[in-house]
Structure 1
């Protein structure tokens, strides 16, 4: 391997990356899709993996090519770039992502075993552990990549092997959505995991971890990022396949389950009995903890690099807000933050695409501002549709006339057109400027 990074350090960073992404949502989402897809699980999972795993992996590779995550918005006006990053870290951090992880850890990891409401006590303890781990960012790879993730993987392997060796049922006929367009619906569901935006946020942690191991030369950072993305993709893909299989074979025990969390709980109980609930609780709490630590670290790294804010102070503020919001008004916060996340996700992906085009050829000038504006405009239509706020007649017209609108990705084609047009225009303009002037 032509890299200055030791194999064991590379593996540790790859494991850390997998753990950062593996939140409770990643565990409970595929079982629900698997139950609905039934016998069409494989085509549905093919589409799902493209957007749920391929998109974040592509983002990590691009971030490695531009060497620092901050370069993602370097071509934007300074104020606009800072607005983007602040909104992103607020949304995936204390306003939405972290409180949700804390409450899910409590609901699935603690509540089934206790009587009464102990959310406040659990939140204080959970956030305290998060803060303790986040306070030592230099040890993040050791804590998560070398200790927590292997333990998490072992627990997931135990569940997966048991499900394969002793399935509780057989895949049933697919639901209406997955009968004739399983791949398409898989693509949509994978995109809706929003891991594309999480990859942009976690980029701060991953690149910092690579640099901390002595790899700072741009070509080496880019090379290592490819290996890290590959490790993440293999592990996350295997996890999704296993959880999807659990859902597909759960019809006999979880036919009436309301969500993936219930499916997983019933399935684990059916295989392992009472001890299965303890295993599932450990998996969920561990997955949520790695996510909150990673998000805290990413937020603190950004504010330290961009505003010279002390790392410890930012970590305390982020975790304290998370602790408060997890106990009071999370439902309202989700209502407020969800539209922002639905808008930020396509914008983040569009900026990644623009940065990638810029790395292909120095003469390409994809114009990040125009890409952002176009994506924001069409992404707003997608957000309104997802939130069921689009007027009925207008919604029908858009479904018939706007490409990918039904897939909640109407921004993609206009974004690609703008990228292509701007890049070609920049090349033509530079060629004209280089032509000799005739006498």
Structure 2
């Protein structure tokens, strides 16, 4: 039966969306951004909200209105080979390469690191990540019960405690944001720095990976028409948007105001743990550690399942689902022991490459009626976005790579691009590629549609 999405169903699906999106990065990055942005925190937060909330929301809606069966199907509008490469790289990024290791390292950073001496940090991180991923792998083999248990009990507990922390920090701030120092690029381009900082949540990437889950959930309650699916996506998304806007704004405020007492931390995990200890002492810090660890465990189980199932579908003649789970667990363990700050530094160049491609495929999905879904427009826009995004990625490499002669010579080719110094040198080339695609199909007239 066809119909519109009811309010009760929209709330349930919206809650599911929130559960999928809100993980480790959603906690630590707005806090660290607030610490770095200082008095410019609200300008930076606006930029952050666009990429951390706006793009994921559009990504989910794009899956709905495109009638795609998933990320691979959507990216195939560019080219099948590109679709496979893009899908693999995206799932590795939100999986064992970066996001999965981060679930363990954030839990460790908040839960154990403050209570362990510097000489024991390396060994303690190794033991913790081993146990964390062993438990995650165990439940990833049959995650249904754990996901239900955490979704109904632990997530609400986490939100309740986080609300207590944030409200306490709002009523009794550590300092005034009007006098908080501004660090680095936030001094001159707070909005654009916040915009690119939102990349770190990886939620726009996850939206393309998990959007089909939302579509199936709506179809299960009787919503199947294209228009009703799109409207249903918006209804469910409003629940997530409101909740995340409030949480992100409060977390950024806590980060900025904390500079009245705390020093600028190396990452948001440290700052969040220090904030909990400041307001509630050891009891509050321990409770926060337990809830964050369990929340991250839920995320880890979900990512193990999603990545392993996707690789089985992409490569049906390779290895089994369980072997993929073990393989990704081993990779996550090894990368997790690099440390949270290092993981963030290594992830940024990959995100600077993937996000332009993600943004363009989302926008092209909405613009498809203008060019009737012609493949040439998808292809030309993506090529130009990719070539420009390489420069943005190279420009954010860690110093030991970014300062090499080869990289510096390559960057000379990109410095003339508009917005390159803001980390968004891909914008104008992507627009040029889009226009060239339109010109091509206008001249040729017979280019096949991508859908």
**TM bucket normalised to smaller:** 0.7 to 0.9
CA RMSD, 1 decimal: 3.5
Cα distance in 2 for partners of 1:295, 1:191 equals 18
Structure 1 equivalent of residue 182 of structure 2:
175
2:96 to 70, 76, 94: 94
**3-state DSSP class of the match of 2:420?**
coil
For 2:413 and 2:445, the matched residues in 1 are separated by 41
- Choose which of 355, 373, 377 in structure 2 pairs with 1:345: 355
Alignment of 1:395-434 (within 5 A): 398-399=414-415, 401-423=416-438, 425-426=440-441, 430=445
Deviations 1:29-64 (CA, angstroms, capped at 9, x unpaired)? 222222333333222212221222212211121122
Which residue of the partner structure matches residue 382 of structure 1?
392
Deviations, residues 113-162 of structure 1 (Å, cap 9, x unaligned): 46753445433442244335444466687345433322221121111111
Structure 2 vs 1, CA of residues 133 and 38 (structure 1 numbering), >3 Å: closer, same or farther?
Answer: same
Residue 158 of structure 2 is matched in structure 1 by 152
1:437 is matched with none
Q: Deviations over 1:143-191 (max 9, x none)?
A: 4543332222112111111111221221124426445543333223224
Q: Distance in 2 between matches of 1:7 and 1:311?
A: 36
- Aligned mates of 1:329, 1:38 — CA distance in 2: 26
- The separation in 1 between residues aligned to 2:304 and 2:355, in whole angstroms, is 19
Q: 1:119 to 1:301 in 2, by over 3 A?
A: same
User: For the Cα contact (< 8 Å) 2:49–2:198, is it kept in 1?
Assistant: yes
CA contact (8 A) 1:135 1:312 kept: yes
| Structure 1 residue ranges without an equivalent (≥5) | 434-439
Supply the distance in 2 between the matched residues of 1:73 and 1:363 (Cα, whole angstroms).
Answer: 12
Distance 1:332 1:44, change over 3 A: closer
The number of aligned residues is 431
> Residue 234 in 1 paired to residue 247 in 2?
no
Which residue is 2:73 aligned to?
A: 71
Task: Give the match's secondary structure for 2:244.
Answer: helix
Residue 365 of structure 1 deviates from its aligned partner by 4.9
Aligned match of 1:126: 132
Kept in 1, the 8 Å contact 2:392–2:423? The answer is yes
Asked if residue 196 in structure 1 is aligned to residue 204 in structure 2, the reply is yes
Within 2, Cα distance between the matches of 1:192 and 1:421?
Answer: 31
Tell me the TM-score normalised to structure 1 length: 0.84
Is residue 25–residue 200 contact of structure 2 (8 Å, CA) maintained in 1? no
CA distance in structure 2 between the aligned counterparts of 1:236 and 1:302, rounded to whole angstroms: 28
Deviation larger for 122-131 or 328-337: 328-337
* 1:325-354 CA distance string (max 9 Å, x none): 435899998887664443222222222222
In 2: Cα distance, 1:330 partner to 1:264 partner: 14
Q: Post-superposition shift, 1:205?
A: 4.3
Report if aligned partners of 2:376, 2:440 keep a CA contact under 8 Å in 1: no
